[in-house]
Structure 1
Amino acid sequence: MATERKRNPNGAGTITKRKDGRYQAAVYVLQPDGTRARKFAYGKTWAECDVKRRELLNKVHSGIPVPTRSAKLSEWLPYWLEHVIKPHRKRTTYAKYETHARLYLNPHLGTKTLEKLSARDVRAALARIAKATTAATAKESHRVLRSALSTACREELITRNVVKLVEAPSVDVYESSVWTLEETLKFIFVARRDPLYAAFMLAVGLGLRRGELVGLRWQDIDLDSMTVQVRKQRQRVGGENYEDDTKNRRKRALPLPVLCVAPLRWQRMRQQALHAKAGDSWRESDLVFTTRTGRPIEGSNVLRSFHRLSAKADVPRIRVHDARHGAATLLAAGNVHPRVAMEILGHSKISVTMDVYTHVPDALKREAVAHMDRMLGRRRR
């Protein structure tokens, strides 16, 4: 008959017999906050207890947290942000999630344990967040919490995600403003002598994002072959201006519109003059759009210049990002296939191009209706 093992190797836990006749396994396991604590499991026999010990060890070796007590949401969220979101998501995403966890989720739900958090708790918290801020903020908090608890489910800390039982707050769809062709031409005329004229032409002509504009490098532009490679963008998070991959990490090669070539040539000559004037204080970066000393320009400065020129041109005040909508509209007006427009604008899904960005002009609607009239009229004859 095999003898009961009294001692396991270091780190493998221990099994002891209690005074009441049951067996007790003890294993040091990882906690949601990153620390280690002793976890106990019990069984009527040594073999039953050993099975539970091995299950705990498997989770330890896989890096799965096993709380010795039911973790509070305020304990789980920091762990999730640090070990799940930070290593695998963009810094802007981490910053947004951390803000929602700190300002909204922890104050309203932080004291709740993961196991006892109910759909009613979540629904009440989202209502309070919406009342104190906006429905859009509450909807984003709903998304952050749902993602955090989905990870908790995968790591077997809870058996179900109660946030999925709660409908997200409804938010009115943002209706962006789009300039007409005449308004776009008025803006271009006024912006011709602005230092960021080339940037605005790229925004209007190719729909480049603001971060892509300030992150554009000369090495990615070939004015002779009239092409541009959109590889990187620049963002500001936590007071740091840094280079990052483009949204959705999609790199795209685009032909340059003829109207963008001359402004870019002018921008290069202007930058060379600034370099000569700055002398030793110039900071080489290869960026297309820089300050007078060669340093990266802030996206907020691009926005301020855009609004200033919009007012001077007497056109509606819109976001720089709305220029992407205008570019999509011009592509639609030119009967460019949506798949081509998707590649130019750098969307991850064609549904984004169709449902969000392409605003069909009234002229195209009238043309479509006139075409239907012609087709139906032919049938009647």
Structure 2
Amino acid sequence: MTRLKLGRSKVYDLIRSRCPVSIKIPVPTRSAKLSEWLPYWLDNVIKPRWKLSTHDKYEAHVRLHLSPMLGAKRLESLSVADVRRFLVRLENQTTAATAKDSHRVLRSALPPACSEELITRNVAKLVEPPRADARELHPWTLDETLDFLAASRKDPLYAAFVPAIAMGLRRGEIVGLRWSDLDLDNRVLHVRQQTQRRRGALYDDDPKSRPRRVVPLPAFCIAPLRWHRMRQTAVRAKAGEQWQESGYVFTTRTTRTGRQGEPRNVYRSFTRVAESVGLRVIRLHDARHGTATLLTAAGVAPRVVMEILGHSQISTTMDVYTHVVQDTQREAMSHMDRLLRKRRPGRA
């Protein structure tokens, strides 16, 4: 038996001759540099499909970290070692969290290059991202929460603080709330949009993580919202023709023209009230952590907490927000203590 030795080109010719359809094997050509590809990806993939906040966050990582450190590399020559060295260097210069976020941006930018047959694999996916320590959360205790609510009763934004604490609404969701989103008679709130300030202007966008959600309104929230609507009606009547009807629940207080309120002003008022009664200052977003903590302490199932807070994944609720208060932990240990001390009948 004679063994034939064929060159690679002849092997390809033999395969093509025996296949009814011609085979095209994609071979990467000399592609653009990473500093050229990333702006193209931002403009043609991220900007048309993702939120403006997501685009701005990705653009910052491209401009500050990826392009300066890896931009000279061509797509087809970018290696696993290049990505690994980049992450180590960036973590040393900044933080592990920043390096982890830049890794996520790079990992997201390479699949479209694979789709366009500029590269054959996503090398960033082969590199494990840095481990960033989770931010330690210290939400208010129940007593601190009650002290804040008592101190904020006379504040014009009291009706905003109540749902933020009782329902875990995000700051943008509060400012983006319209009267058409509220059904006070049936105690229902529709979270349909959030308001953010980007590039010097306010704009409404879909809520974070989940497009929309419907949440029952606690009875505790009804009276403050009704009172707020009465006060807004009085301000509208006094403003007359200067009032610009926008439909938003929380409008700017300085000009009294009905224009939408500023997200940062909600936090400023929140901080001012906390400082006035000697409470430790926390982020308004930490009120969401406090909501999850109190709901968990009350025995509410994590899946229900997830729906109320609008998380896209149950892991977010479990890993980030369920910080059970010390009294609840003590109660749980007392149950364990009673179980272990229980004697079986007939035993000494």
Distance in 2 (CA, whole Å) between partners of 1:310 and 1:124 is 45
> SS at 1:189's partner residue?
helix
Match of 2:9 in 1: none
RMSD: 2.5
- Structure 2: gaps spanning 5 or more residues: 1-11
Distance in 2 (CA, whole Å) between partners of 1:81 and 1:375 is 58
- Matched residue type, 1:94: H
Match of 2:132 in 1: 171
Match of 2:290 in 1: 326
| 1:91 lines up with 2:52 in the alignment | yes
- Structure 1: gaps spanning 5 or more residues: 1-42, 60-65
> SS at 1:208's partner residue?
coil
Match of 2:308 in 1: 344
| 1:306 lines up with 2:270 in the alignment | yes
C-alpha displacement at 1:273, in angstroms? 2.0
Retained in 1: the 8 A contact 2:289–2:322? yes
Match of 1:40 in 2: none
Cα deviation digits, residues 40-85 of structure 1 (max 9, x gap): xxx99xx99xx999969xx9xxxxxx98632110111112112211
Distance in 2 (CA, whole Å) between partners of 1:326 and 1:237 is 27
One of 213, 219, 229 as aligned partner of 2:190: 229
| 1:378 lines up with 2:345 in the alignment | no
Seen in structure 2, the aligned counterparts of structure 1 residues 249 and 332 have a Cα distance that, compared at 3 Å, is closer
Q: How does 1:96-111 map to 2 (within 5 A)?
A: 96-111=57-72
Match of 1:316 in 2: 280
Cα deviation digits, residues 195-251 of structure 1 (max 9, x gap): 111111001000001110000110111111222111111112222211111112332
> SS at 1:253's partner residue?
strand
Match of 2:8 in 1: none
Match of 1:363 in 2: 327
Retained in 1: the 8 A contact 2:189–2:215? yes
Match of 1:276 in 2: 237
Cα deviation digits, residues 82-138 of structure 1 (max 9, x gap): 221122211111111111111211111111101111222222322333333332212
C-alpha displacement at 1:150, in angstroms? 2.5
Match of 1:239 in 2: 200
Distance in 2 (CA, whole Å) between partners of 1:156 and 1:104 is 25
> SS at 1:148's partner residue?
helix
Cα deviation digits, residues 282-310 of structure 1 (max 9, x gap): 22111100112211111111111111111
> SS at 1:224's partner residue?
coil
Instruction: Using the aligned pairs only, state the percent identity.
Output: 61
Distance in 1 (CA, whole Å) between partners of 2:76 and 2:343 is 66
Distance in 2 (CA, whole Å) between partners of 1:134 and 1:280 is 53
Retained in 1: the 8 A contact 2:30–2:76? no
- Matched residue type, 2:259: R
Distance in 1 (CA, whole Å) between partners of 2:343 and 2:309 is 40
One of 21, 34, 51 as aligned partner of 1:73: 34
Match of 1:255 in 2: 216
- Matched residue type, 2:136: E
Q: How does 1:21-170 map to 2 (within 5 A)?
A: 69-170=30-131
Distance in 1 (CA, whole Å) between partners of 2:33 and 2:168 is 45
Distance in 2 (CA, whole Å) between partners of 1:73 and 1:123 is 16
Retained in 1: the 8 A contact 2:28–2:76? no
TM-score when normalising by structure 2: 0.87
One of 163, 169, 172 as aligned partner of 1:202: 163
C-alpha displacement at 1:380, in angstroms? 4.5
- Matched residue type, 1:147: S
Match of 1:187 in 2: 148
Seen in structure 2, the aligned counterparts of structure 1 residues 359 and 194 have a Cα distance that, compared at 3 Å, is same
Q: Which runs of 4+ in 1 moved over 3 A?
A: 51-56
Distance in 1 (CA, whole Å) between partners of 2:273 and 2:21 is 69
Match of 1:218 in 2: 179
- Matched residue type, 1:154: S
- Matched residue type, 2:115: R
- Matched residue type, 2:291: A
TM-score when normalising by structure 1: 0.80
More strand by share: 1
One of 344, 353, 359 as aligned partner of 2:317: 353
Larger relative contact order (Cα-Cα within 8 Å, sequence gap ≥ 6): 2
Distance in 1 (CA, whole Å) between partners of 2:242 and 2:89 is 52
Cα deviation digits, residues 6-51 of structure 1 (max 9, x gap): xxxxxxxxxxxxxxxxxxxxxxxxxxxxxxxxxxxxx99xx99xx9
